[in-house]
Amino acid sequence: MIRFHKEGYTIIAITFVLAIASVLLAEEFINILWLTKAVQVLALFLLIIVLQFFRNPKRITELNDKTIVAPVDGKVVVIEEVEEPEYFKDKRLQVSIFMSPINVHVTRYAMSGLVKYSKYHPGKYLVAWHPKASTDNERTTIVLQNETFGDVLYRQIAGALAKRIVNYAEEGSQVIQGSDAGFIKFGSRVDLYFPLGTKLKVNLGDKVKGGTQVIAER
């Protein structure tokens, strides 16, 4: 059975009503057969797009404090050592995962642990793969801590189409690896910052699956 994320319920309901209305009104008021069919097909196509975007497939995460799982579905577009300026203010290993509009956009906790830091930043809407997207776009920064990895930071970043980031991480709360951490509406990316020396299990260009695929380990 297909599940949908709660962040999409209102948009799905509105789109469904508009799609049905468009189909019925086109049938009633448009006298040109091909135009009637074109309007109806377009309305149903838009409904399908919205439904697929907000799908929330069930994922079974094998809990393991020695592994980091992908927080989202998408493609690994960055692997490099960088200076992380907001929280650590030192060198970290960055892994960035880009989500296209056709990917599942649920954000899941990459590891179990304590939420040490959670902050929202308003910003621009550059394309998600732009080099300055990490620092200039609308984003949230969350830091998780456990005994194996210490502090691991992940950042939800809005893209050119993303206009709302949903973040469920609250400072001081304990979270479980693979559970629902939020949602980013439309194209976007997630950056992760690991301690130097973290062993990665992915390479540039790899496609990853959120909540189940191990991307780093100790």
Is 188 a catalytic site residue? yes
The active-site residue, picked from 96, 112, 134, 188, is 188
Residues 37, 181: Cα–Cα separation, whole Å: 41
CB atoms within 10 A of CB 3: 10
Give the Cα separation of 55 and 213 in Å (integer). 19
Q: Which residues contact 42 (CB under 8 A, 6 or more apart)?
A: 22
Residues designated as active site = 188
